[in-house]
Structure 1
């Protein structure tokens, strides 16, 4: 079988590192990561991956080979913080997507674009609720347009609240499950943003990667959601952990609900197999060490 060259943007990040790890296990794949290490880390490097440090806006200068496939995960990905980081959001999400799409157009390869489930938040109203949500929603339209204008093969996926090993656990870009785990480990109150009734569909990283690889190989078009059908309010999640709860003020851009659009992904044979409650129980049994 011919060797397949696969480029993952954001390959040193939480999701990207797991994707690189899975892809690199196939001896027929040559896996490359392009990451600017804004939230990625060298600690997330995995064997048999070639790491390129730089911005997606410079992809044409930094990548000196023609890939067979590009997984574009390397974008800014925080809702509430995006109000303060709007210049960074624009560079990483708008300037970046144009450069990546031009690159895949000229390379003649397929792109899998990691969209954001915020696009479906609050009945579709969430797509403009924050700079992050708007850039991601409009990027999906640009990817589709490139497919129509220039015959670029594409698939668009949507993640739903990913959790698991290598989550960011501290700082302003920390994700919820890792943050609560750290607080339990240190005996601190569990902070919940008001009102606490906002619902999320927490999806294990292994289920996300199963879906990403499958859609990358077989999916074409939009609306390949990768999300668990189980939803929890943030207060219910905090209750699973079992610590004292401290309510924080409401924050801009914080959607209440998001519909899981996973029919097309399930039609390819994907289904989630991990549950958040089992993961939290595993953490408890390990004294909150992952």
Structure 2
């Protein structure tokens, strides 16, 4: 019997890389559940079973046992969450509650992707936006389900993930994705004021290695998967070029980040890809992610 793996958000940026990695293991049967709000069929891979739908309907859509759920399929943008509060609630509260109930009934392991926003600005970041609050409160709910119902769970935290297939256009675009697109078009790089916001940037390959380790061996909270090297947003922009356009400040934009990688490092993980080296490689390849 093959081990069955379910990845919510499996057609998205991080989820598609996880699907791609796991689909190469002949001992696994990989399933993706995605509503394609930000995911794409262009991110599909062979040997993955793709199911279209919302996580709030997981119990109807997945009528078979699963060994582990990687729950990555939530709304995941800070500034836009002020405009999308209904979508945030549907995805991050109703959807995650349904996933927890599914895991409780099916007695499978849950790996939940929390948000590092809750650690920002001395802990004040957890309530700085609808997105941050739903994610922070969900980590508490996951821990409680573990205690209440003896669920096998692990919670990971990502830190500004970048790499191939990240979103580079539209309101859900990532910072590095936006910069790559602007470089291709020879346009100024937009930086939200004041530009001194501190961030940790983590390559997708390092994220996937961490997810696999925690999925196989992790239990409990506090698995921060992030590169400990930090930069200001303005410093990152200047790694690309000096033609920078400063934008007005925005709600929910935290100034600092706190990163704790001790628990993931105890499993043998360490960040391997450096942002500056990645940008140099992009430059050599005319800003294409190969």
- TM interval, shorter chain, is over 0.9
Q: Tell me the residue number matched to 1:289.
A: 288
Distance 2:11 2:208 in 1: 15
Gaps of 5+ in 1: none
Which SS does the other structure have where 1:121 is aligned? helix
Structure 1 residue 172: deviation in Å? 0.4
Match for residue 200 of structure 1? 199
Aligned to 2:13: 14
Map of 1:170 onto structure 2: 169
Q: Which runs of 4+ in 1 moved over 4 A?
A: none
TM-score relative to the length of structure 2 = 0.99
Q: TM-score, normalised by structure 1?
A: 0.99
- Report the Cα distance in structure 2 between the residues aligned to 1:112 and 1:279, rounded to whole angstroms: 28
Q: Deviations over 1:124-146 (max 9, x none)?
A: 11000000000000000000000
Q: 2: CA distance between counterparts of 1:40 and 1:243?
A: 32
Distance 1:236 1:267 in 2: 31
CA distance in 2, matches of 1:33, 1:83: 28
Secondary structure class of the residue paired with 1:158: strand
Structure 1 residues 86-235: aligned runs within 5 Å:
86-235=85-234
Could you list the runs of 5+ residues in structure 2 that have no partner in the other structure?
A: none
Deviation by residue 1:41-86 (Cα, 9 ceiling, x = unmatched): 1111112100000000000000121100000000000000000000
User: CA–CA distance in 1 between the matches of 2:260 and 2:122?
Assistant: 12
Paired with 1:70 and 1:177, the residues of 2 have a C-alpha distance of 28
Partner Cα distance (1:281, 1:65) in 2:
46
After superposition, what is the alpha-carbon deviation per residue over 1:123-181, rounded to whole angstroms, capped at 9, x for unaligned?
Answer: 11100000000000000000000000000110000000000000001000000101001
How far did residue 243 of structure 1 move?
4.1
Deviation at 1:22, TM superposition (A): 0.8
Q: Deviations over 1:12-50 (max 9, x none)?
A: 000000011111111101000000001111111112100
Q: Structure 2: how far apart are the matches of 1:272 and 1:229? A: 8
Mapped contact 1:184–1:243 kept (Cα < 8 A):
no
Give yes or no for the alignment of 1:62 onto 2:61.
yes
Q: Which whole-Å CA distance do the structure 2 matches of 1:46 and 1:57 have between them?
A: 24
- Distance across 2 between alignment mates of 1:121 and 1:157: 16
The total of aligned residue pairs comes to: 289
1:24-103 to structure 2, matched below 5 A, reads: 24-103=23-102
Find the aligned partners of 2:42 and 2:201 in 1 and give their Cα distance.
24
Deviations 1:229-277 (A, max 9, x none): 1101000000000140000000000011111111000001100000000
**C-alpha distance in 1, partners of 2:67/2:283?**
42
CA RMSD of aligned residues (A): 0.6
